[in-house]
Structure 1
Amino acid sequence: MPKFLLKSCQNPDSDRVAEVRAALGMGWEEVYASPEGICTLARAVRDARGQAFCLLPFCHTVEAEAMGARVNLGDEVSVARAGEPACSSLRDVLGMELSLDRTERLPRMLQATSKLAQSGEKVMYSVSGPLSILSCLMDLSAVFREWRREPELVREALAHLREQVAPYALAAARAGAASVEVADPPAAVSIVGPRVAADVATLFTTPLIEELGPRMPAGTEVVLCPLAATEEMRSLECANVRVRCPKA
């Protein structure tokens, strides 16, 4: 049974990705140029963290990029991050769909998952929650204004994002991921408050996990980042989901 409401990340220190990439002497374009480059960094980060699995992807921007977000791949001290907003309203987001044809990073990430799994590595594949995706598509201050004023629009947007993420999560599982993690760091209760966190839990995270669970390949577990766990998720206690920090 999951242990909910862990309240904090179990490894608040650096995730080591940028540092390990620099130590390897690989530029971000080189890392993302091929599945092999992604595998090389994933294994090196696993070793640096002392983990038993490789965690992919290296940031929370790949879904948004595949929906049309402008993304900076990163520099010497950071991983990929959002560029100029592509949307000014959640209404714009409703017209955007996640497409593997829009970016090379996302399909290569799935190919790397397959290669790692075939070589005997365990892969935890992390899919992003709505605020992580929205933060790459638009200014979050605009998101929260609409959150207060137009709850029905928020409901539609979260449902739309869930529809985009679910097939992607299943694709990661089919590619060989041993675990599929749902993570949304900006949606932590300590950051957004209980009302927004509850909306994310009831309108996105819980129904997403309920949909994914029965459709996952045998042996693939669903993992929930503890920062995304709220009281509203008690209904998941009997589901095949574990709450744990993948960086611990």
Structure 2
Amino acid sequence: MRQKRGGNSMIQDYECRPEDSDHGMLEVIRTYQLPVPEIYVKMEEILRFAKLEKEQNRKPFCTIPFDHTLEAGAMGGNVRYGNETAGPRAEKPICQSLEELKAISGMDFDSGRMKETLDVCRELRKQGEEVLFQMSGPLTIWNTLIDVKHILKGIRKTPDQMEEIFGMIETEMLRLLVEVKKAGVRLVSYADSAGSVRILGPKSMEWMTRTFTAPFLKKAADILGDDMAMILCPKTVFALIGTDLGKRGECPFPGEMTYQEACVCAIGKAQFPSQMCINRSGTKITNGKLMTIEIKESHA
């Protein structure tokens, strides 16, 4: 972990490790020769893939969606669905400027892949399965819609315009969280890997944490209520702690269990479990305490 200074804050960078990446998904596709792109876009195939992946990787929940292009696709972005060696990723960006990004329509929940995905969440919950819904952060979503250099430049040169664009994406992400809750999902993970301190730089990372991340998580907490938990990526946690907008806490749980099991156990007890990367499926916690974070009031 490297420390980087930004303004008065000190934001650590979290290095993603091999065990943090979800290779398990592609392994399942190869093992069962699952059809691409159907496993990303058709309800029955998404459902089958989610259950097989849970079983194969011995997880306490089904992970949905399987990649980080769902939100951008629902906003009209171009997605290439890959094959058994690479998952879905961004195709050619549909926006060439921040003005075009601002003019983009909101997420469509009633058709296409997003509708199928939310329907799968409903069906899995009906079948008694626990579901982890993977939410992406703004930079990760925009990465599919526009060349991110426009965003980085915007944060530096036209912060007021960027604040407006962040406000628009916040609205869409909160709308999505409401839909996910309506589908019966109790567990969400939040990560913005394209928005790390290494990519943004310490000053812009601090600005984004104050302008977007902390306020967004505060509003998300109101939607989560007592029925849901949102697992935060270590990159987000370090940004909150480094800007003094997050405070460490802990949630007790009985006996020894994996991090993923402890996160399920935290539903209704803690809103933001945040001890490690959620992709570390086998990592055990032996001390009966799950690290959490509380979002402090922002005084940007």
TM norm structure 2: 0.74
By relative contact order (CA 8 Å, sep 6+), the higher-ranking structure is 1
RMSD: 2.3
Structure 1 match to 2:103:
95
Alignment of 1:1-248 (within 5 A): 7-9=14-16, 11-100=19-108, 103-216=111-224, 218-229=226-237, 230=239, 231-232=242-243, 234-235=245-246, 240-243=271-274, 244-248=276-280
Question: In the comparison of the two structures, how many residue pairs are matched?
Answer: 245
Structure number with bigger Rg: 2
Kindly indicate whether the alpha-carbon contact (under 8 Å) linking 1:185 and 1:227 is maintained by their aligned counterparts in 2.
Answer: yes
Write 1 or 2 for the structure with the bigger share of helix. Answer: 1
Q: 5+ residue gaps in structure 2?
A: 1-10, 250-269, 281-300
Kindly indicate whether the alpha-carbon contact (under 8 Å) linking 1:15 and 1:247 is maintained by their aligned counterparts in 2.
Answer: no
Kindly indicate whether the alpha-carbon contact (under 8 Å) linking 1:28 and 1:75 is maintained by their aligned counterparts in 2.
Answer: yes
CA distance in 1 between counterparts of 2:126 and 2:110 reads 26
CA distance in 1 between counterparts of 2:247 and 2:98 reads 28
User: Does the C-alpha gap of structure 1 residues 44 and 214 become closer, same or farther in structure 2, counting only changes over 3 Å?
Assistant: same
Cα distance, 1:234 vs structure 2:
2.9
Cα distance, 1:72 vs structure 2:
0.8
Question: What letter matches 1:17 in structure 2?
Answer: M
Write 1 or 2 for the structure with the bigger share of strand. Answer: 2
**Deviations along 1:14-57, whole A, 9 cap, x unmatched?**
43212211222122222134322112111222233321111111
Cα distance, 1:224 vs structure 2:
1.1
CA distance in 1 between counterparts of 2:145 and 2:110 reads 14
CA distance in 2 between counterparts of 1:31 and 1:133 reads 21
Cα distance, 1:6 vs structure 2:
8.3
Kindly indicate whether the alpha-carbon contact (under 8 Å) linking 2:13 and 2:198 is maintained by their aligned counterparts in 1.
Answer: no
Identity %: 25
Structure 1 match to 2:261:
none
CA distance in 2 between counterparts of 1:33 and 1:135 reads 20
Q: 5+ residue gaps in structure 1?
A: none
TM norm structure 1: 0.89
SS of residue paired to 1:44: helix
Kindly indicate whether the alpha-carbon contact (under 8 Å) linking 1:127 and 1:180 is maintained by their aligned counterparts in 2.
Answer: yes
**Deviations along 1:44-87, whole A, 9 cap, x unmatched?**
22233321111111111111111111111122311111111100
Deviates more, 1:11-20 or 1:40-49: 11-20
